């Protein structure tokens, strides 16, 4: 520093002392500056006050010499003390050079800068709030300072600033949020702790409504929740807990739609605490926001469905996920099956689109195991419209079906998840049949494949879905270009459709309840296609026929009309080219007919043969039963056509006697002794 330079109104003694390496001498100079500035204040000499501050800033605090910088810092603090309440008029000039010293390589200088700023802020109090962002920015850096003394000094300043914000009603939250949103993605442990502590303070201030800006910081909070430090995780849990309390208190003011995809992302993370917390939030969102969450169903299901297969190690997550799944399912109603109305431009602007995403996001949580496709709910939405939650709600069925199909196709997925997927499909066919039948052709193959599942419960649910597809009035079409055209509906007109079933064709498909399966189903265009595909499946998978064939057919007889099942299968088998399979299948159907309690009514109908319907059924069965000699005889016994049975048995002598033939005869002999063949 040039000793000849004029630093007036600072005296040469003050200048010399400010440049001294000893703290005590710099302190003496600061007291002289304080006295000097007080005199200028008394004289209302603003020109000289500005000159003193500018000199201390440019010539000292921003000097290349470390001792000069230290002198400048203590001098600026002295100016602030002297100015008192008037310091607010000069805060920009006082604060900026001090904040510059926060970046000094010398830890002692950073400490002195912290001390100086503490004194400036302490005097100015609420007047510093217009400069809050720059103060916060500087403090956030010092919070991660490697020097413990600097960190300790920054903590004192931090507490002082928090007291000022808490006391004031003039805090500018709007201008602060962008800075908070940026800094919340810091990976530094101390910076994260600093951020969380400030959010806790702001949440506790009655005049500050941070809930309005939660969508902008929620993702960052979940990132911090995954910190390695237990204390930080705990603090973050508390903050999120406070926000959730506020959401429950004031659900009408919450921007649910803007946060839906953020939760979807974090519900899929591998961190248990983050996943459980996000899932709990999701549960509350679905229950509080209701149908507002429907547009995000595909993303929610992508996150929730894999959790349903968790074991006891993740029991809590599984339980919450189950509630989310059930609650979301209840939101789907028959009104979602209404034809899509053309949307106005205003509606298109306000309706949330789950495909839109916010590109700015650091450290996005990765999808957990079992997630099918990251494209479902992988973005974070930010909607600017205040009317977002009141916009028309649309059920994006295409996305939902894609997610369900994906999970059902995944052979590694857990049993409970597969059951949940099938329950969803059944529910959608009940509530939104017209829209669901657009997807039936893509779903049909995987539903047939699921019949091979090792779980009986999965197969049962699968059969319920298939039965609903086969019987729903919404699946009826006379369009010759339908997937199951005329070639697949041979003799469809011969199928026995119950009278009550025909009446159901007149009812809207939305009248069916959630739980009830059709007791008197109509046979729609998909029924015959289902029967053909089922028999093809049995033909290509003989092990499935042996292990599950009777079980599947008996359940279908309960879910659908037994007469129609047997009538259609017999009709299809009549055209079967693989005669060995036809014989095996007829034998299986015959055994079910003779032994299953589910077929009691059908057996009685065949014993009677007094009505045209029963006679028609017998003729149809007889033609196919001829694929197997023993089953043909047993059908004659059942229907009391004893003379014809006698004639057939006479022909047995002309047949090749094989082990299988003898086995079937043996079984027939045993059955003859049963009450099935006795006349009523």
Q: What is the pLDDT of residues 525-565, one digit of tens each?
A: 889 999 999 999 999 999 999 999 999 999 999 999 999 99
The band of 62, judged by pLDDT with boundaries at 50, 70 and 90, is very high
User: Per this entry, what is the length of the chain?
Assistant: 680
The band of 649, judged by pLDDT with boundaries at 50, 70 and 90, is confident
As a whole number, the mean pLDDT across the chain is 84
pLDDT for the residue 146: 92
pLDDT for the residue 411: 85
The domains spanning 1-162 and 397-474 adopt the same CATH topology: yes
User: Quick one: three-class SS letters along 159-189?
Assistant: HHHHHHHHHCCCCCHHHHHHHHHHHCCCCCH
pLDDT > 90 in the chain, percent: 69
pLDDT value at 378 more than 70: no
pLDDT for the residue 385: 34
pLDDT for the residue 480: 36
According to DSSP, residue 488 is labeled G
pLDDT in tens, 197-240: 999 999 999 889 999 999 999 999 999 999 999 999 999 999 99
What are the residues whose beta carbons fall under 8 Å from the beta carbon of 342, sequence distance 6 or more?
Answer: none
pLDDT for the residue 366: 39
pLDDT for the residue 633: 87
Please tell me which of 491-500, 562-571, 623-632 the model is most confident about, judged by mean pLDDT. Answer: 562-571
| 8 A C-beta contact, residue 21 and residue 60 | no
Q: Report the pLDDT averaged over residues 605-611.
A: 86
383 Rama sector, left if φ>0, alpha if ψ -120 to 50, beta otherwise: beta
| 8 A C-beta contact, residue 638 and residue 679 | no
- Cα(433)–Cα(474) distance, integer angstroms: 6
pLDDT for the residue 679: 54
pLDDT value at 488 more than 90: no
pLDDT for the residue 386: 35
pLDDT for the residue 343: 46
Range name among 507-516, 554-563, 616-625 with the lowest pLDDT average: 507-516
Q: Which fold does the domain 397-474 belong to in CATH?
A: 1.25.10
pLDDT value at 506 more than 80: no
The band of 374, judged by pLDDT with boundaries at 50, 70 and 90, is very low
- Is 383 or 638 the better-scoring residue by pLDDT? 638
The band of 87, judged by pLDDT with boundaries at 50, 70 and 90, is very high
- Is 652 or 580 the better-scoring residue by pLDDT? 580
Q: Report the pLDDT averaged over residues 120-140.
A: 95
CATH of domain 1-162: 1.25.10.10
| 8 A C-beta contact, residue 643 and residue 601 | no
Question: Considering only CA atoms, which of 424, 396, 428, 392 is closest in space to residue 408?
Answer: 424
Q: Report the pLDDT averaged over residues 442-463.
A: 95
| 8 A C-beta contact, residue 21 and residue 30 | no
For 326, other C-beta atoms within 10 Å of its C-beta total: 13
pLDDT in tens, 305-344: 999 999 999 999 999 999 999 999 999 999 998 765 544 4
- Cα(132)–Cα(124) distance, integer angstroms: 12
pLDDT value at 86 more than 60: yes
pLDDT > 70 in the chain, percent: 81
- Cα(191)–Cα(189) distance, integer angstroms: 6
Copy the structure tokens of residue 475.
């699946």
pLDDT value at 659 more than 80: no
| 8 A C-beta contact, residue 606 and residue 563 | no
pLDDT for the residue 668: 67
pLDDT for the residue 652: 72
CA 451 to chain CA mean position, Å? 28
pLDDT for the residue 651: 73
Q: Report the pLDDT averaged over residues 376-381.
A: 38
> DSSP string covering 99-126, please?
HHGGG-S-HHHHHHHHHHHHHHHHHHGG
Question: Considering only CA atoms, which of 154, 246, 152, 265 is closest in space to residue 199?
Answer: 246
pLDDT for the residue 583: 92
- Cα(535)–Cα(574) distance, integer angstroms: 12
The band of 2, judged by pLDDT with boundaries at 50, 70 and 90, is low
Alpha carbon distances (Å) from 466 to 442, 444, 643: 13, 8, 41
- Is 530 or 674 the better-scoring residue by pLDDT? 530
pLDDT for the residue 7: 83
The band of 474, judged by pLDDT with boundaries at 50, 70 and 90, is confident
pLDDT value at 143 more than 50: yes
- Cα(17)–Cα(507) distance, integer angstroms: 98
Torsion of CA 584, 586, 592, 594, to 10 degrees: -120
pLDDT for the residue 645: 79
- Cα(195)–Cα(618) distance, integer angstroms: 80
pLDDT in tens, 267-299: 999 999 999 999 999 999 999 999 999 999 999
The domain ranges of the chain are 1-162, 397-474, 525-677
**Its pTM surpasses 0.85:** no
Range name among 49-63, 313-327, 373-387 with the lowest pLDDT average: 373-387
Using the CB atoms, write b or e for 267-287: b if 16+ within 10 Å: bbbebeebbbbbbbbbbbbbb
Torsion of CA 444, 445, 446, 450, to 10 degrees: 100
Q: Report the pLDDT averaged over residues 390-412.
A: 87
């Amino acid at each position: 520093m040039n000793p000849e330079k004029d630093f007036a109104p600072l005296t040469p003694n003050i200048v010399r002392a400010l440049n001294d390496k000893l703290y005590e001498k710099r302190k003496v100079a600061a007291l002289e500056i304080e006295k000097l500035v007080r005199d200028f204040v008394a004289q209302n000499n603003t020109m000289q006050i500005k000159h003193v501050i500018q000199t201390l800033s440019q010539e000292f605090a921003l000097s290349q010499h470390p001792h000069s910088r230290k002198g400048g810092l203590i001098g600026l603090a002295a100016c602030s003390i002297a100015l008192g309440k008037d310091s607010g008029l000069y805060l920009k000039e006082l604060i900026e050079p001090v904040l510059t010293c926060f970046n000094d390589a010398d830890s002692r200088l950073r400490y002195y800068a912290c001390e100086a700023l503490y004194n400036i802020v302490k005097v100015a109090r609420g007047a510093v709030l217009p400069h809050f962002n720059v103060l916060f920015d500087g403090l956030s850096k010092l919070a991660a300072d490697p020097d413990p003394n600097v960190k300790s000094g920054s903590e004192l300043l931090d507490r002082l600033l928090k007291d000022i914000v808490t006391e004031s009603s003039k805090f500018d939250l709007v201008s602060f949020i962008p800075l908070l949103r940026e800094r919340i993605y810091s990976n530094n442990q101390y910076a994260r702790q600093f951020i969380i502590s400030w959010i806790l303070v702001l949440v506790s201030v009655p005049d500050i409504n941070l809930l309005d800006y939660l969508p902008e910081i929620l993702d960052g909070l979940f990132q911090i929740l995954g910190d390695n430090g237990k204390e930080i995780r705990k603090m973050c849990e508390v903050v999120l807990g406070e926000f959730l309390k506020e959401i429950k208190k004031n659900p009408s003011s919450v921007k649910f739609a803007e946060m839906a995809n953020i939760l979807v992302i974090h519900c899929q993370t591998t961190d248990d605490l983050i996943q459980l917390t996000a899932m709990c939030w999701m549960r509350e969102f679905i229950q509080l926001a209701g149908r507002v969450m429907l547009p995000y169903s595909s993303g929610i299901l992508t996150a929730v469905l894999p959790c349903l297969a968790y074991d006891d190690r993740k029991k809590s997550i599984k339980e919450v996920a189950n509630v989310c799944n059930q609650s979301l399912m209840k939101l789907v109603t028959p009104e979602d099956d209404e034809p899509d109305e053309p949307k106005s431009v205003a509606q298109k602007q306000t309706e949330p689109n789950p495909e839109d995403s916010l590109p700015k996001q650091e450290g996005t949580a990765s999808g957990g195991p079992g997630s099918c496709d990251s494209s479902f709910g992988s973005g974070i939405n930010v909607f600017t419209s205040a009317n977002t939650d009141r916009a028309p709600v649309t059920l994006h069925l295409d996305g939902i079906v894609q997610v369900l199909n994906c999970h059902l196709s995944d052979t590694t997925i857990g049993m409970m998840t597969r059951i949940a997927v099938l329950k969803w499909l059944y529910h959608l066919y009940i509530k939104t049949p017209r829209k669901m039948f657009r997807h039936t052709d893509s779903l049909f193959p995987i539903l047939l494949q699921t019949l091979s599942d090792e779980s009986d419960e999965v197969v049962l649910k699968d059969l319920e879905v298939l039965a609903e597809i086969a019987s729903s009035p919404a699946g009826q079409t006379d369009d010759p270009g339908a997937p199951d055209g005329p070639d697949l509906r041979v003799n469809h007109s011969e199928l026995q459709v119950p009278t009550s079933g025909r009446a159901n064709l007149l009812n809207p498909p939305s009248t069916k309840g959630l739980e009830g399966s059709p007791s008197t189903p109509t046979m729609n265009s998909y029924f015959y296609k289902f029967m053909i595909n089922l028999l093809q499946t049995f033909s290509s998978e003989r092990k499935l026929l042996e292990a599950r064939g009777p079980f599947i057919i008996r359940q279908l007889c309960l879910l659908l009309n037994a007469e129609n099942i047997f009538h259609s299968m017999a009709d299809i088998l009549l055209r079967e080219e693989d005669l060995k399979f036809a014989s095996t299948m007829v034998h299986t159907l015959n055994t079910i007919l003779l032994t299953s309690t589910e077929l009691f009514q059908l057996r009685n109908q065949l014993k009677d043969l007094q009505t045209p319907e029963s006679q028609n059924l017998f003729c149809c069965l007889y033609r196919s039963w001829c694929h197997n000699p023993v089953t043909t005889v047993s059908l004659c016994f059942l229907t009391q056509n004893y003379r014809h049975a006698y004639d057939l048995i006479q022909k047995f002598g002309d047949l090749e006697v094989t082990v299988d033939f003898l086995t079937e005869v043996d079984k027939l002999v045993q059955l003859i002794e049963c009450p099935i063949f006795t006349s009523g």
